[in-house]
């Protein structure tokens, strides 16, 4: 769904639509004009235009699909302007905001398995549902649907599945546990060796201290001996 901000308020939609012989229906307490253009439902209000885009856009990733959607929107708005006989651009640009956007990895291996087994997956966080398995168009979709994060969620999910494929799905939970257990065992051995080394270092430090003390005492005795020898000469 697209929100298009108008450069200025339009309060004469009824006159525009009647002059262009475009059928419409009043909704939202007669404050909004609903029309259809290129099979898309469109709401015309005083400050904005809302377009319910019926199309899907296929790209290599979510960013590519989004770019295609914006290209298609620009073409649609150009045609809509011509149809209505108005200009809705700010400085030759449209002010558009997208909402209710969904991004899907089609023919996804997890989606295929779940759909074959008749299982459903919905993933939630504190902001609500953000990931689901869907097959409404027979495309076996792993779909990110959160209105604020669906784009970045889709990129992350795609990277997750691709990296699993690159590693031939070897990084399983059991594999991770095995690696972590190996790391823990190595850490235990390292800690034991470190304790042993610390004991040796402590003993060596004490031995050095004792040797230093003995040397100092020997130096003191030597100096006293020399003083006594000097005194005996007078």
User: Considering the domain boundaries, does residue 174 fall inside one?
Assistant: no
User: Considering the domain boundaries, does residue 48 fall inside one?
Assistant: yes
User: Considering the domain boundaries, does residue 44 fall inside one?
Assistant: yes
Phi/psi-derived region of residue 6, left when phi > 0, alpha when psi is between -120 and 50, beta in every other case:
beta
Q: Are residues 30 and 107 in the same domain?
A: no
Q: Are residues 115 and 38 in the same domain?
A: no
**Bigger pLDDT: 152 or 137?**
152
Q: Are residues 74 and 119 in the same domain?
A: no
Q: Are residues 84 and 123 in the same domain?
A: no
Q: Are residues 20 and 41 in the same domain?
A: yes
Q: Are residues 107 and 93 in the same domain?
A: no
Average pLDDT over residues 150-176: 86
Backbone angles phi, psi at 40, to 5 degrees: -95, 135
Distance, CA of 5 to CA of 90 (rounded, Å): 9
Distance, CA of 193 to CA of 2 (rounded, Å): 64
Q: Are residues 89 and 107 in the same domain?
A: no
Q: Are residues 79 and 126 in the same domain?
A: no
* Whether the model pTM is above 0.75: no
If you write DSSP's letter for every residue of 95-155 in order, what string do you get? Answer: EEEE-S--EEETT-HHHHHHHHHT---EEEETTEEEEEEE-TTSS-EEEE--TTTHHHHHH
**Of 148, 166, 184, which marks where a domain is finished?**
166
Q: Are residues 17 and 60 in the same domain?
A: yes
User: Considering the domain boundaries, does residue 142 fall inside one?
Assistant: yes
Please give the share of the chain, as a percent, with pLDDT higher than 70.
Answer: 85
Q: How many domains does the chain have?
A: 2
Cβ atoms of 47 and 36 within 8 Å: the answer is: no
User: Considering the domain boundaries, does residue 124 fall inside one?
Assistant: yes
Query: Which tens digit of pLDDT belongs to each residue from 115-141?
Result: 999 999 999 999 899 999 989 888 999
Distance, CA of 138 to CA of 38 (rounded, Å): 25
Instruction: Indicate whether 227 pLDDT > 90.
Output: no
Joined tokens for residue 216: 């100092």
**Bigger pLDDT: 59 or 214?**
59
Beta bridge mates, 43: 34, 50
Joined tokens for residue 21: 């012989």
Mean pLDDT of the chain: 86
Q: Are residues 81 and 122 in the same domain?
A: no
Short-list 50, 18, 26, CA closest to 37: 50
User: Considering the domain boundaries, does residue 22 fall inside one?
Assistant: yes
Distance, CA of 156 to CA of 160 (rounded, Å): 6
Domain range enclosing 38: 2-98
User: Considering the domain boundaries, does residue 200 fall inside one?
Assistant: no
């Amino acid at each position: 769904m697209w929100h298009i901000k108008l450069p200025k308020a339009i309060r004469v939609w009824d006159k525009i639509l009647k002059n262009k012989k475009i059928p419409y229906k009043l909704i939202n307490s007669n404050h909004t004009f609903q029309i259809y253009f290129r099979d898309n439902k469109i709401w015309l209000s005083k400050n904005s235009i809302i377009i319910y885009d019926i199309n899907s856009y296929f790209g290599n990733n979510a960013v590519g699909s989004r770019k295609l959607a914006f290209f298609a929107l620009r073409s649609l708005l150009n045609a809509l302007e011509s149809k209505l006989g108005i200009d809705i651009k700010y400085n030759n640009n449209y002010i558009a905001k997208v909402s209710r956007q969904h991004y899907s990895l089609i023919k996804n291996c997890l989606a295929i398995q779940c759909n074959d087994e008749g299982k459903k997956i919905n993933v939630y966080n504190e902001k609500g549902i953000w990931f689901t398995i869907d097959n409404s168009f027979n495309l076996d979709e792993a779909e990110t649907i959160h209105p604020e994060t669906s784009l970045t969620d889709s990129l992350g999910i795609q990277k997750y599945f691709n990296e699993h494929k690159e590693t031939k799905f070897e990084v399983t939970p059991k594999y991770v546990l095995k690696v972590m257990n190996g790391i823990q065992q190595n850490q235990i051995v390292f800690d034991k060796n470190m304790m042993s080394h610390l004991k040796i270092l402590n003993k060596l430090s004490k031995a050095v201290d004792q040797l230093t003390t003995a040397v100092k005492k020997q130096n003191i005795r030597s100096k006293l001996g020399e003083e006594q020898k000097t005194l005996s000469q007078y």
